[in-house]
């Protein structure tokens, strides 16, 4: 039967708003609860154990909002802590697996690139999954630690000399390897899509994790008959662990709209709060 409960989306900060944006496009009638762990961002430089602990708290919070489905919009969580899905009473989706499937389907020369945070790249989840599906693939990876602060400071124009030079430096291994498909393995990176495309050239397919994930979520909810049966546009609720002074600016950049109401959460209270089956 149909399920009108909201979909929960969480990220280490606000980058997951780009995933929420794609989910809204594909599922306009659904309601969403978004949690950004802005008080502990970034996850990308944390240890695996810490990332797993944070992910469980984030998931617990969303469960307290009676969500029917959880999307880990964070590339780092999806790479390091996706196994926490096995403990959840609701279905879960990360952003790694579907972006890998999209990349494998898109590549023609079997040379695939992956860019992401240091934790995402060091974990190697993208590369491992690519090689599981396409063992003959040549995978080139690179971490791009300056991309996130560039986006959050409002630097994203493809003609901005700072953006372009940083992109050239980070993407040089991809150009040298001749990849024809590049996974944008961090939720902030779609904001830099034009600059990345300018460096890589029009012949390279760029995989937006948010888009591939949104399409997969719609497919699964349809299969499970869990789509919202209402004909009305869905609602959105926003929660953060720290309401920073830059919240309004960054959220507008990433989501493309102003967020008028945001709620503060003490995320530490959600450690082990639920019986996880």
> Each residue of 13-39: pLDDT tens digit?
898 999 999 999 999 999 999 999 999
Q: Are 157 and 132 in contact (CB under 8 A)?
A: no
Last residue of a domain, one of 162, 193, 210: 210
Domain assignment present for residue 24? The answer is: yes
Question: Residue 167 has what DSSP assignment?
Answer: H
Confirm whether 60 is domain-assigned. yes
Could you confirm whether 186 is annotated as catalytic?
Answer: yes
pLDDT averaged over the chain?
92
Q: Does residue 170 sit within a domain?
A: yes
Say how many domains are in the chain: 2
Structural domain span for residue 12: 7-94+211-270
Q: Are residues 54 and 131 in the same domain?
A: no
Identify the band that residue 232 occupies on the pLDDT scale cut at 50, 70 and 90. low
Same domain for 107 and 60? no
183 and 226 belong to one structural domain? no
Domain at 193, CATH number: 3.40.50.1860
Are 74 and 157 members of one domain?
no
Cα–Cα distance, 188 to 60 (Å, whole number): 24
On whether both 215 and 83 belong to a single domain, the answer is yes
| Comparison of pLDDT for 233 and 103, the residue scoring more | 103
Query: What are residue 236's DSSP bridge partners?
Result: 32
CA distance 205 to 260: 35
Q: Is residue 249 very low, low, confident or very high in pLDDT (cuts 50, 70, 90)?
A: confident
Do 117 and 173 belong to one domain? yes
From the list 7, 130, 179, 186, the catalytic residue is 186
Q: Among 30-34, 47-51, 63-67, 233-237, which stretch is predicted with the lowest mean pLDDT?
A: 233-237
The residue from 181, 210, 239 where one domain ends is: 210
Say if 277 falls within a structural domain.
Answer: no
Q: Would you say residue 138 has pLDDT above 90?
A: yes
Same domain, 80 and 102: no
pLDDT class of 42 with cuts at 50, 70, 90: confident
pLDDT of residue 81: 87
Q: What phi, psi does 172 have (nearest 5°)?
A: -55, -45
Indicate the pTM of the whole model.
Answer: 0.88
Write the CB contacts of 114 (distance below 8 Å, at least 6 apart in sequence): 121, 126, 127, 130, 139, 140, 141, 142, 182, 183, 185
Do residues 90 and 13 share a domain? yes
What is the DSSP annotation of 205-269?
Answer: EEEEHHHHHHHHHHHHHHHTT-S---SSPPPEEEEESS--TTHHHHHHHHHSS-----EE--GGG
Task: Determine the average pLDDT of the residues in 124-140.
Answer: 96
From the list 9, 74, 96, 216, the catalytic residue is 74
Q: How far apart are CA 136 and CA 121, in angstroms?
A: 20
Share of the chain above pLDDT 90, in %: 73
More reliable by pLDDT, 75 or 127: 127
Q: What is the pLDDT of residue 277?
A: 43
Q: What are phi and psi of 191, to 5 degrees?
A: -65, -25
How confident is the model over 61-92, as pLDDT tens digits?
999 999 999 999 988 888 888 899 898 999 99
Buried b (16+ CB within 10 A) or exposed e, 207-233: bbbbbbbbbbbeeebeeeebbbeeeee
Q: How far apart are CA 239 and CA 243, in angstroms?
A: 9
Do 51 and 126 fall into the same domain?
Answer: no
198 and 235 co-located in one domain: no
pLDDT of the residue at 262: 92
Q: Would you place residue 273 in the very low, low, confident or very high pLDDT band (cuts 50, 70, 90)?
A: very low
Q: Are residues 102 and 193 in the same domain?
A: yes
Alpha-carbon 263 to chain mean position:
21
> Does 39 fall in a domain?
yes
144 is catalytic: no
Compute the distance between CA of residue 237 and CA of residue 264 in angstroms, rounded to an integer: 11
User: Could you tell me where the DSSP H helices lie in the chain?
Assistant: 17-26, 48-63, 75-80, 96-106, 118-123, 125-133, 147-152, 161-177, 193-200, 209-223, 247-255
In a domain, 2, yes or no: no
Check whether residue 106 and residue 195 sit in a common domain.
yes
1 occurs within a structural domain:
no
Q: How far apart are CA 13 and CA 74, in angstroms?
A: 8
Is residue 122 domain-resident?
Answer: yes
């Amino acid at each position: 039967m149909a399920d009108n409960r909201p979909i929960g989306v969480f990220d280490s900060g606000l980058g997951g708003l780009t995933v929420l944006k794609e989910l809204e496009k594909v599922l306009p009638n659904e309601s969403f609860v978004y949690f950004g762990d802005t008080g502990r961002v970034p996850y990308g430089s944390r240890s695996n154990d810490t990332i797993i602990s944070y992910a469980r708290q984030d998931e617990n919070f969303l469960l307290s909002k009676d969500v029917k489905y959880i999307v880990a919009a964070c590339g780092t969580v999806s790479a390091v802590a996706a196994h926490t899905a096995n403990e959840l009473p609701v279905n879960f989706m990360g952003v790694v697996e579907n972006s890998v499937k999209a990349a494998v389907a898109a590549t023609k020369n079997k040379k695939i690139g992956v860019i992401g945070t240091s934790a995402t790249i060091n974990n190697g989840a993208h590369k491992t999954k690519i090689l599981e599906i396409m063992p003959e693939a040549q995978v080139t990876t690179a971490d791009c630690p300056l991309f996130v602060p560039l986006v959050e400071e409002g630097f994203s124009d493809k003609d901005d000399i700072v953006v372009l030079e940083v992109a050239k430096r980070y993407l040089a291994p991809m150009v040298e390897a001749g990849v024809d498909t590049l996974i944008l393995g961090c939720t902030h990176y779609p904001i830099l899509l034009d600059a990345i495309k300018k460096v890589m050239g029009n012949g390279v397919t760029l995989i937006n994790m948010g888009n591939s994930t949104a399409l997969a979520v719609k497919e699964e909810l349809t299969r499970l008959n869990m789509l919202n049966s209402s004909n009305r546009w869905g609602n959105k609720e926003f929660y953060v662990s720290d309401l920073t002074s830059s919240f309004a600016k960054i959220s507008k950049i990433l989501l493309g709209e102003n967020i008028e109401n945001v709620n503060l959460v003490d995320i530490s209270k959600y450690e082990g709060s639920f019986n996880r089956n």
